[in-house]
Amino acid sequence: MVLAQLGEGITAALSRMCRATVADDAALTTCLDDVSRALLRADVRFESVRAAIHNVKSTTNPSTLPPGVDRRRAVHKAIFAELCHMLDPGKLPFTPTKGNKPNVVMFVGLQGSGKTTTCAKHAAYHRRKGFAPALVCADTFRAGAFDQLKQNASKAKIPFYGSYTESDPVKIAMKGIDTFKNERCDLIIVDTSGRHRQEDALFEEMRQLSEATKPDLVIFVVDASIGQAAFDQALAFKKSAPVGAVIVTKMDGHAKGGGALSAVAATRSPVIFIGTGEHIPDLEPFDVKPFVSRLMG
């Protein structure tokens, strides 16, 4: 079962309980066992699942429910609340502020996650909010990364820095940041490499880049349809760079976004935006309740 199927697992468990003749303890136990399995298979940590199930059980105990409340609805509501809670790491993300001090934001994530596209979307979003953003391409590994970001930058009319000839991403990032600081840009967004199959080298590169550039925020970009590797992937990025926020891309597709739960659990960082399409304006601030509704199907 992949993370994207988490919602189906929970929906199936709830509808089985709805079909049960009576919503008694046995039906509730079966339902919550199914929900636990769906969450565990989705790589949500055991401790989080155990705590969530415990909370659902105690809030839906007939002795604590007000008279006349339908237990099935109460269970649905309690699971909804627990999933919202799982998406809340309990801390607010860094938010860029306009003014003299430039904000440096570094994007990390595996190739194909939508990182480069999201850098441009993020820049355009903040320009609409009155920032003076700029984009730096520090991905020297993927052929085409430079052109892709440059094209997106020029489409969105955002200043861009990159190099065809320099192979050291740290040098490019530092030069780009310096250049845009001098140009008084107040949001400098650094796109990084996301190469597959050379993960040790990738994570070392992320460590060096974040140490050198000292970003105000590191954003982990994750594809909504990613499989079970989401937790480990997010954790590995978190170990190499101080990830402080998550963006879930491709939410316009069929994926329900279960990977977000694991990314939040692994990084202890909140989701801040979701990507809803391939175009520059397709970035929406994350809103936990509609997201969980979708997750539950």
Binding site for ligand GDP (CB under 6 A): 109, 111-117, 194, 249-250, 252-253, 275-278, 282
Residue nearest to ligand GDP (CB): 275
Q: How far is the CB of 35 from ligand GDP (least distance, A)?
A: 28
C-beta closer to ligand GDP: residue 41 or 150? 150
C-beta closer to ligand GDP: residue 62 or 290? 290
C-beta closer to ligand GDP: residue 62 or 144? 144
Q: How far is the CB of 115 from ligand GDP (least distance, A)?
A: 3
Q: How far is the CB of 77 from ligand GDP (least distance, A)?
A: 30
Q: How far is the CB of 47 from ligand GDP (least distance, A)?
A: 31
C-beta closer to ligand GDP: residue 78 or 247? 247
Transcribe the chain into DSSP letters. --GGGHHHHHHHHHHHHHHSSS--HHHHHHHHHHHHHHHHHTT--HHHHHHHHHHHHHHT-TTTSPTT--HHHHHHHHHHHHHHHHT--SSPPP----SSSPEEEEEE--TTSSHHHHHHHHHHHHHHTT--EEEEEE--SSTTHHHHHHHHHHHTT--EE--SS---HHHHHHHHHHHHHHTT-SEEEEEE---SS-HHHHHHHHHHHHHHH--SEEEEEEETT--TTHHHHHHHHHHHS-EEEEEEE-TTSS---THHHHHHHHHT--EEEEE-SSSTT-EEE--HHHHHHHHT-
Q: How far is the CB of 152 from ligand GDP (least distance, A)?
A: 8
C-beta closer to ligand GDP: residue 112 or 290? 112
